[in-house]
Structure formats: structure tokens, C-alpha cells
């Protein structure tokens, strides 16, 4: 029975992940002292837990680089009207956020602008 | 991804709140539930005083599931030093689960808690999220029914024990959503039904990664509400058989709790011969039962099980395959069930023509069918001599996209005390549905597709080696590395359909988000030990960074 007890709290603790980015890798995994901005073309949008993720391409010095940007959980984004089709592959976005400290091409989103220049609201609970 | 949300939400919190609200609409003056069991009175009465009406302090003011009462009894033994033999403890749990339990209608929306299913819940409000759902599912809270005063006392004691502040709004919500007494409870408690689980049941089961099974379960009385069980399951995919035997109890005529195991020793962690804990809900008419038989360190493996009582009329249980492409010729479709007639063709609906019956027994018909090129896409019923299986067959023109289930999950490395935590994935094909748009509510699930699997580490904590995270098997099982790197990884589990491509001829690929973690980890300033059902307070709630 001891074994039978663990899943509920553990999994709910992750899937309902309280503050947005704690646990597996914290908000501290990103360099919050400096923001970067990319003109991005979305390749995939994952509307999921514990973080939703946008995969995108940017042109840097003539080269196409693949990046991904993390945002809040599906629950958090849903509160702001997001659905699985809010962002579609091929969308042009201006993405601002904090780069990962570990040097990977990953970032945490602080601001999204659509192709029309309008802000697409995201959650920030940190 | 909206598709999976659909599955989860339909049966989770919305259902719970709907039923809870319905119960809450007809308030009844609160009273206790008298305790009439001699063992419970003798063993619990030393601390819980019993009044003239038979009401015992605390005990008479709450109702819950067998798991809830098991937790209570364990807590009384471990924390409060109650002296109980295993026989006495079992007797008390059995009595309270039967006479101080939930009605079947109350239990059904929260069965996923007892079945150890991972569900994404819709949290009723922010305070409930902060108070309840940070540590456990809301379904756990709603697996209880308490009087107003008992909810107040419980939330205050819980808050003191786990060091959080509880808002009055939460207590008010729980009191209204999960009251002790309702007319429905009173009616059910006075029932005079002759419930009996014994006899023959038809079984369909599904095991992620291994597909569907059919079989027969034989239930024999073993005294009181207890039974012995014997089961032969046959894999629809490869014809292999599993023989299982076990023992179960049925509380309140509907709450099946048991254990069974295969006749062969399990070879791998995901071996379907493994010993399982059985949790099922038997319908009030006693003609159907459903639930999950699970195992694994984190209950990550499990059969989804449905039982049906056989009748004299044909009973159609399964078709295989469950999806056919338009224009296909001479496709073989197996229909599995019970009491099938010796003549007559199955009806697959317009555009699907039965060319001939290849074989026929009382439990299986194999038909050869042609699907017209202009057959309408979508799910359709299959009918065999009056037995209709709703939505049993999908017709599709192409697979538009693939999604992985679960979409997000967690696996764990092992240490000296904890076995590894695995995660089984499936790649599910979808057709875009009648609206012509993918990722919308009318998309048609075509079931699991054969896929190739791999992992991509997209975030590893500094100092960790991404090569040490683990591997995917050919059947979509993530196996964590044997060595615990004492670090967490965020990885993509990626699958590409082997035989199908999208409309542009490109590979159909999907990703799931998997966190691979250590057996215990820290967040929000508290250490969470994965194999205990609680937070172990590690000081004030501060961000560990």
C-alpha cells in the first residue's frame, strides 16, 4: 500500500506544477540579468505540462539555428486564452526572453509579439 | 493536444463538481452515521467516544473510499499508536468502507485517484489549488464526504500538520461539494440489493504498449464479500495468453479491490504477468465493471479493464483492427465477443462491404471487407445480430498527425531503496475530422500506430551528462539508465510513424515532454520524497534558488 500511495501526489505535483518552473529545472536555470530577442519562425508548438514549448528557427549570421522557448504550463496559458492551435507552425513571432545558463539553445519567454506587432499574453508567475 | 485534454477533462473535475453540486442542492440537517460494528466500536472507542445514538466522534461524521479508510487506520496505528492485529484492521476497513463509504455515483468521478491514473484536473479555484492541489489531486479531497464541522476541523488540522494557511473559501467549497448526508446517500444506504460479483464475466483489457486483450474472468465466493478469481487473457495483437489468479473483496456491492498475478514469474518490469492491484467500479445494475489493474514502483503500468456479464444474446466486445483506410480491399476484420450466431454478417455501415466470412466461432468472427474509396471518414458502429459496438471502427483517408500519450510524464532513476520509474508511451494517429482542420475537437483517433522511438535531451542541469538519461525500447517504453546521475533531465520523447506519412509525404513525428528525475527531489523549499504520499517539511516555503 505504501507503493500504492505515491503516484497521486507526485504526478499531480508535477502536472499541476504550482509555481511555473520549479522542480526539474528552476527559473534559476535561465540568465535573468539579460534578455535576448529573436525574430523567429515557429516550427512546432507543444501545449503541454510542465511547460509549454515553442520550437523555432532564427537566422543568425546567415545560418539557420534551431531554438526553443519555454513558457508556463498548459493550465497557466489556458487562463490567458491559449489553445493547442494558438501558435501554428510557420508563424512569425518576435520572442524575447532569458537564455539558458547551460549554453543550450533554450530560453524562457518574457514577451511574445505576433507578426502584426501585437503582444500575445503569456503568464509570468515567477 | 486538445484531443488528450478532451479525454482527461470529460471525466475528471467537471464530472466531480457536477455530481457534487447536485448532491449539495438538497441540504439535509446534519447528523452522524452510527457505528454498529463490534470490532470498530471496541478498537476505536477507546479514543473516539460513542454516544447513545451510536455515533462515534470523528468517525461518524465522515465517509470515504476503501483507500481513504485504509489511510485512516494506518495513521491511527503509526501516529496514534492504535493496537490492532492485521485481522482487526482489515475488519474495520471492510466495515467502514461498506457502511461509511461513498455511493457508486459519488465514487465514479474520483475513481482515477484509487486507480492511480494520471489526470489533468480542472481546479475549481485558486485557493483550492494552493490548499489541496499543490500536494495531491483534488480527487483525493473529493474522495471524502464530511459534515460541515468535520470539514472545518479536518482542514484546520491538515493545515497545522503540513504548515499552510487554509482559507475559509476552501472549507466552504468542500462542505458544499462533499457533504456527509444527502438524500442520495440515505437512499443508497437503505438499499436492499442482492449484489454478487461471483460468476462469469467477459473481459476486455488494454495495456499501453501491448495493445488489447480479451478473456473470461471466473469469480468464486471465498466467504463474505471476498472472492477468488481466475482469468485467461489473450492478446489481440499476437495471440499470446496470460493466466492470472487472485483474490478480491467488493465493498458496498460495487468497490472491487483485489490482487492477482500471472502463472509465470515476470521477466521484465512491464511484464503483464506481474502482480497487480485491482481497482474497479461495478455498475449499480451489476452488469458492467471497469477499472485499472496496476503495478510498478509508481503504478506506472496497468491494464485498463472492462468486465461485462455475458447474456444469451450476442455480445460484441472488440474489433481488430479499429481503423481502416478508404479504398482498401480484402481487409481482414476480427470481431471478438460472446454467444455469436452461426450465421449472419456483421454490419460495418455504408461503404464497407463484407465480401466473405473467413471463419466463425461463438466468440470470434473473421470477415473480409472492402472499403469504398468514397466511404465517409469517421468513427462508426459495428453491429452483429443486434449487438452494437459504438464507434468501434474508424474509416480514414489519411493520418493527418500523430500525438503521443501521455503528452507529458515523469520517470525516475533508481537508488538503493527505490526501483526505477518507467514510462510507457504510445503514438496515436489522428484524422482531421469533418471540419477539415487538424487539432480540433472533431478529430478522429485512429489508435496506436507503429513507430520508431528515441529521446532528445533538451535540458540537463549543469554538470550532468545527457548520455546517461536512458533509452526507448521498440515498443515505446522509456527505461531510465541504471546509474542514478543524481540530476534531473527534461527530454523530448520522439516518435515517427513507420508506415505512414503526412499528406506531403513527410514523416509523421510527435513529441512528449518527459522529466527524468531522482527518487527524491526538492521544490518550493521542501523535499518531496517520491515514494511517500506526503511532503516532508524541510523548512519554510522558499525558492531553493
- Tens-digit pLDDT profile for residues A18-66: 333 334 566 677 888 889 999 999 999 999 888 899 999 999 888 999 9
* B143 secondary structure, DSSP code: T
* B35 secondary structure, DSSP code: -
Give the count of beta carbons closer than 10 Å to the beta carbon of residue B181.
20
In this structure, the dihedral spanned by the alpha carbons of residues B322, B323, B328 and B331, taken in order and rounded to 10 degrees, is: -10
What is the nearest CA distance from B335 to chain A, expressed in angstroms?
Answer: 36
The residues pairing with B257 across neighbouring beta strands, listed in sequence order, are B249, B279
User: Any idea which of A46-50, B103-107, B305-309 has the lowest mean pLDDT?
Assistant: A46-50
Q: Distance between CA B331 and CA B321 in Å, rounded?
A: 9
Q: Which residues on A lie below 8 Å from B461 (Cβ)? A: 25, 29, 102
Does the structure show a pLDDT above 60 at B357?
yes
Q: How confident is the model at residue A102 (pLDDT cuts 50, 70, 90)?
A: confident
What is the nearest CA distance from A60 to chain B, expressed in angstroms?
Answer: 20
Q: Distance between CA A48 and CA B242 in Å, rounded?
A: 36
Q: Which residues on B lie below 8 Å from A24 (Cβ)? A: 488-490, 515, 517, 521
CA angle B206, B210, B341 (to 5 degrees): 55
Q: Distance between CA A16 and CA A84 in Å, rounded?
A: 18
- Tens-digit pLDDT profile for residues B185-201: 988 888 766 778 999 99
Q: Under a CB-based contact definition with an 8 Å cutoff, are residues A29 and A107 in contact?
A: no
* pLDDT at B146 (0 to 100): 97
Q: Distance between CA B464 and CA B78 in Å, rounded?
A: 39
Q: Which of A5, A16, A26 sits opposite B133 (nearest CB)?
A: A16
* pLDDT at B375 (0 to 100): 97
The residues pairing with B237 across neighbouring beta strands, listed in sequence order, are none
Q: Please report where in the chains the cell 471463419 appears, as a residue.
A: B359
Q: Do A49 and B545 touch (CB under 8 A)?
A: no
Give the predicted TM-score (pTM) of the model: 0.84
- Tens-digit pLDDT profile for residues B442-460: 999 999 999 999 999 877 7
Starting from the edge strand earliest in sequence, which strands make up the sheet with B451-460, in order? B408-412, B507-517, B489-501, B451-460
Compute the average pLDDT of residues B332-336.
98
Q: Is B188 exposed, middle or buried (0-12, 13-18, 19+ CB in 10 A)?
A: buried
Compute the average pLDDT of residues B241-261.
95
Does the structure show a pLDDT above 60 at B3?
no
Phi, psi of B298 (to 5 degrees): -115, 25
- Contact map slice: A 65-84 vs B, CB within 8 A: 68, 74-75, 83-84
* B210 secondary structure, DSSP code: T
Cis amide bond preceding A65, omega within 30: no
The residues pairing with B316 across neighbouring beta strands, listed in sequence order, are B337
Q: Which of A4, A22, A48 sits opposite B408 (nearest CB)?
A: A48
Q: Do B513 and A19 touch (CB under 8 A)?
A: no
Helix segments in B163-205, DSSP class H: 168-177, 183-189
Of residues B86 and B519, more confidently modeled: B86
- DSSP β-ladder status, B444-448 and B426-431: antiparallel
Q: Is A4 on the interface with B (CB under 8 A)?
A: yes
Q: Which of B70, B533, B544 sits opposite A9 (nearest CB)?
A: B533
* pLDDT at B524 (0 to 100): 46
Q: Mean pLDDT score of chain B, rounded to an integer?
A: 87
Compute the average pLDDT of residues B473-498.
92
Q: Which residues on A lie below 8 Å from B535 (Cβ)? A: 9
Q: Under a CB-based contact definition with an 8 Å cutoff, are residues B97 and B65 in contact?
A: yes
Q: Under a CB-based contact definition with an 8 Å cutoff, are residues B518 and B508 in contact?
A: no
Of residues B130 and B335, more confidently modeled: B335
Q: Which of A15, A19, A75 sits opposite B118 (nearest CB)?
A: A15
* pLDDT at A24 (0 to 100): 57
Q: Under a CB-based contact definition with an 8 Å cutoff, are residues B208 and B124 in contact?
A: no
Does the structure show a pLDDT above 90 at B297?
no
Q: Is A44 on the interface with B (CB under 8 A)?
A: yes
Q: How confident is the model at residue B545 (pLDDT cuts 50, 70, 90)?
A: very low
Q: Which residues on A lie below 8 Å from B513 (Cβ)? A: 46, 48-51, 53
Q: Is B224 exposed, middle or buried (0-12, 13-18, 19+ CB in 10 A)?
A: exposed
What is the nearest CA distance from A92 to chain B, expressed in angstroms?
Answer: 20
CA angle B506, B451, B458 (to 5 degrees): 80
Question: Distances from the Cα of A97 to the Cαs of A24, A55, B240, B272, in angstroms?
Answer: 19, 14, 53, 46
Q: Which residues on B lie below 8 Å from A9 (Cβ)? A: 135-137, 528, 533-535
Question: Distances from the Cα of B448 to the Cαs of B211, B271, B414, B430, B478, in angstroms?
Answer: 8, 19, 29, 9, 17
Amino acid at each position: 500500500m505504501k507503493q500504492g500511495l505515491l503516484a497521486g501526489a507526485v504526478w499531480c505535483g508535477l502536472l499541476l506544477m504550482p509555481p511555473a518552473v520549479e522542480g526539474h529545472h528552476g527559473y534559476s536555470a535561465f540568465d535573468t540579468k539579460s534578455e535576448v530577442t529573436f525574430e523567429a519562425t515557429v516550427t512546432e508548438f507543444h501545449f503541454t505540462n510542465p511547460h509549454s514549448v515553442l520550437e523555432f528557427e532564427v537566422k543568425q549570421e546567415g545560418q539557420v539555428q534551431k531554438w526553443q522557448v519555454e513558457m508556463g504550463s498548459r493550465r497557466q496559458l489556458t487562463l490567458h486564452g491559449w489553445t493547442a492551435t494558438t501558435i501554428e507552425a510557420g508563424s512569425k513571432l518576435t520572442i524575447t526572453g532569458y537564455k539558458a545558463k547551460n549554453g543550450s539553445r533554450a530560453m524562457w519567454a518574457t514577451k511574445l509579439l505576433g507578426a502584426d506587432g501585437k503582444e500575445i499574453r503569456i503568464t509570468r508567475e515567477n | 493536444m486538445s484531443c488528450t485534454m478532451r479525454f482527461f477533462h470529460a471525466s475528471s473535475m467537471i464530472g466531480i463538481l457536477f455530481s457534487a453540486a447536485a448532491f449539495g442542492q438538497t441540504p439535509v440537517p446534519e447528523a452522524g452515521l452510527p457505528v454498529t460494528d463490534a470490532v470498530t466500536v471496541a478498537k476505536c472507542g477507546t479514543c473516539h467516544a460513542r454516544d447513545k445514538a451510536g455515533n462515534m466522534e470523528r468517525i461518524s461524521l465522515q465517509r470515504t473510499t476503501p483507500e481513504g479508510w485504509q489511510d485512516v487506520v494506518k495513521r491511527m496505528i503509526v501516529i496514534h499508536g492504535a493496537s490492532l492485529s492485521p485481522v482487526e484492521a482489515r475488519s474495520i476497513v471492510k466495515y467502514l468502507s461498506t457502511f461509511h463509504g461513498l455511493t457508486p455515483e459519488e465514487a465514479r468521478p474520483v475513481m482515477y485517484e484509487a486507480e492511480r491514473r494520471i489526470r489533468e484536473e480542472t481546479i475549481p479555484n485558486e485557493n483550492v489549488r494552493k490548499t489541496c492541489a499543490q500536494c495531491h489531486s483534488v480527487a483525493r479531497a473529493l474522495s471524502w464526504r464530511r459534515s460541515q464541522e468535520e470539514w472545518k476541523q479536518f482542514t484546520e488540522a491538515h493545515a497545522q500538520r503540513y504548515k499552510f494557511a487554509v482559507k475559509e473559501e476552501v472549507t466552504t467549497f468542500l462542505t458544499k461539494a462533499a457533504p456527509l448526508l444527502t438524500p442520495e446517500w440515505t437512499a443508497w444506504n437503505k438499499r436492499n440489493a442482492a449484489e454478487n460479483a461471483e460468476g462469469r464475466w467477459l473481459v476486455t483489457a488494454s495495456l499501453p504498449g501491448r495493445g488489447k486483450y480479451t478473456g473470461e474472468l471466473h469469480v468464486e465466493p471465498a466467504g463474505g464479500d471476498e472472492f477468488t478469481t481466475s482469468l485467461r487473457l489473450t492478446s489481440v495483437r499476437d495471440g499470446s495468453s496470460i493466466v492470472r489468479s487472485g483474490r478480491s473483496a467488493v465493498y458496498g456491492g460495487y468497490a472491487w479491490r483485489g490482487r492477482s498475478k500471472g502463472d509465470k514469474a515476470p521477466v521484465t518490469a512491464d511484464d503483464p504477468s506481474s502482480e497487480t492491484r485491482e481497482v474497479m467500479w461495478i455498475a449499480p445494475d451489476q452488469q458492467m465493471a471497469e477499472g485499472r489493474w496496476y503495478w510498478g514502483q509508481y503504478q506506472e503500468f496497468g491494464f485498463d479493464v472492462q468486465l461485462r456479464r455475458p447474456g444469451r444474446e450476442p455480445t460484441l466486445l472488440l474489433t481488430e483492427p479499429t481503423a481502416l483506410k478508404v479504398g482498401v480491399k480484402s481487409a481482414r476484420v476480427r470481431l471478438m465477443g460472446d454467444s455469436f450466431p452461426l450465421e449472419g454478417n456483421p454490419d460495418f455501415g455504408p461503404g464497407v462491404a463484407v465480401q466473405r466470412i473467413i471463419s466463425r466461432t461463438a466468440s470470434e468472427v473473421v470477415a473480409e471487407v472492402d472499403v469504398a474509396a468514397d466511404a465517409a471518414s469517421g468513427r462508426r458502429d459495428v453491429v452483429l445480430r443486434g449487438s452494437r459496438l459504438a464507434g468501434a471502427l474508424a474509416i480514414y483517408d489519411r493520418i493527418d498527425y500523430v500525438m503521443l500519450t501521455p503528452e507529458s510524464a515523469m520517470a525516475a532513476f533508481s537508488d538503493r531503496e527505490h526501483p526505477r520509474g518507467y514510462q510507457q508511451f504510445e503514438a496515436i494517429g489522428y484524422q482531421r475530422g469533418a471540419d477539415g482542420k487538424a487539432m480540433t475537437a472533431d478529430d478522429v483517433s485512429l489508435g496506436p500506430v507503429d513507430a520508431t522511438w528515441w529521446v532528445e535531451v533538451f535540458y540537463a542541469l549543469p554538470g550532468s551528462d545527457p548520455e546517461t538519461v536512458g533509452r526507448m525500447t521498440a515498443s515505446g517504453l522509456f527505461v531510465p539508465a541504471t546509474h542514478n546521475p543524481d540530476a534531473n533531465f527534461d527530454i523530448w520523447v520522439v516518435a515517427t510513424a513507420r508506415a505512414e506519412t503526412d499528406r506531403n509525404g513527410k514523416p509523421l513525428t510527435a513529441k512528449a515532454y518527459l522529466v527524468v528525475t531522482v527518487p527524491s527531489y526538492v521544490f518550493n523549499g521542501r523535499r518531496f520524497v517520491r515514494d511517500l504520499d506526503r511532503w516532508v517539511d524541510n523548512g519554510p516555503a522558499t525558492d531553493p534558488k
